[in-house]
Structure 1
Amino acid sequence: MTTNIYRVNAVWQLAGVYGVRTRTFVEGQGIPRQLEFDEVYGGQYHYLLLEENEQAVATARINLNHGEYAKIERVGVIPEFQHKGYGRQLIGAAEEWISELGVQRIVITSQQQAVGFYESLGYTVRPEIVIKSSIPVVHTEKEIH
């Protein structure tokens, strides 16, 4: 089994990102595609794509539109590929990239069921819960160096 994580810089990689997000969030969780694909043209986004044996199976988006911090967003792993450590690998790759970009504070807005995962990676939960697209989300954050 071969896995690769790409810092997306080609259209074929972006197609993989959107495919994973469609399977994971639109089809898998019923999130309307207009809400899932909320990128704003001209925004500062970076994408990671994880492939297993040349099949796109996981992705994450880095949002640099917040100035003093970066957000890791749209972390998704296709259901049949979950529990293989791919989410952990993606977050590690995102943190490394964010650090290289000179940003030291990361915020992740997480669905409630994933909070324990982010806490295991050193993220601290902020107490507020927000309803987005009928799904309760929790803010977590971490300082990196």
Structure 2
Amino acid sequence: MPIKQIDHGTKEYKQMVDLRYEILRKPLQLNFDPAELEKEKNDILICAFEEEKILGCCLLTKIDKDCIRLRQMAVQNNLQGKGVGASILHYAENVARDAGYKKVMMHARKTAIGFYEKLGYKVSGHEFIEISIPHVTMVKKLHHF
């Protein structure tokens, strides 16, 4: 399962947006705002593929020189629980570490807290509502070797 960075606006990026829509937005009857997608030109876009088919993805958005935010983590429904998400997350952490970031933060859906905790993330702060569902902020310090 190759995991790689992709470029904004490509055929692979369209697959990424489609997957995120299916997994993250459609169940909530939400769409993407074109301005929101345009801003992703500045993000690090990470996807896992099998041949030409996207399996999962995430984005990394710079917060400041030490912190990067993981967003829009999505894995095909039939592949959830099979290690795809964990592999993508490890890859994203390595990209962030190589770029000099000291920590990764995210707004995790309450239903995903257990997944992120198993991978070393800690809840920071109180629960809040984002895109109509409960979330928490989670953080992980990246160790530089």
What is the TM-score with the length of structure 1 in the denominator? Answer: 0.87
Determine the C-alpha separation between the residues in 1 that align with 2:114 and 2:71. Answer: 16
Q: Is the 8 A contact 2:21 2:32 kept in 1?
A: no
Q: Does 1:17 align with 2:52?
A: no
Where 1:83 maps in the other structure, the secondary structure is coil
2:99 corresponds in structure 1 to: 101
Displacement after TM superposition at 1:127 (Å): 3.0
Determine the C-alpha separation between the residues in 1 that align with 2:132 and 2:45. Answer: 25
Identity %: 20
Cα deviation code 1:79-133 (max 9, x no counterpart): 1121110110010000000011111111021000110111111111113111111
Q: Which runs of 5+ in 2 are unaligned?
A: none
Displacement after TM superposition at 1:30 (Å): 1.9
Q: Which runs of 5+ in 1 are unaligned?
A: none
Cα deviation code 1:14-62 (max 9, x no counterpart): 12211211211122x2251136973453863111111134311211000
Q: Is the 8 A contact 1:48 1:94 kept in 2?
A: yes
Determine the C-alpha separation between the residues in 1 that align with 2:131 and 2:59. Answer: 18
1:143 corresponds in structure 2 to: 141
1:126 corresponds in structure 2 to: 124
Where 1:75 maps in the other structure, the secondary structure is strand
Q: Is the 8 A contact 1:68 1:103 kept in 2?
A: yes
| 1:26-45 equivalent positions in 2, closer than 5 A | 26-27=25-26, 29-34=27-32, 38-39=36-37, 41=39, 44-45=42-43
Moved more, 3-12 or 96-105: 3-12
| AA of the residue aligned to 2:100 | G
Q: Is the 8 A contact 2:66 2:100 kept in 1?
A: no
Displacement after TM superposition at 1:13 (Å): 1.8
Instruction: Give the one of 48, 51, 58 matched to 2:49.
Output: 51
**Superposition RMSD in Å:** 2.1
Q: Does 1:82 align with 2:80?
A: yes
Where 1:61 maps in the other structure, the secondary structure is strand
Which 4+ stretches in 1 moved above 2 angstroms?
34-44, 65-68
Pairs aligned (count): 142
2:69 corresponds in structure 1 to: 71
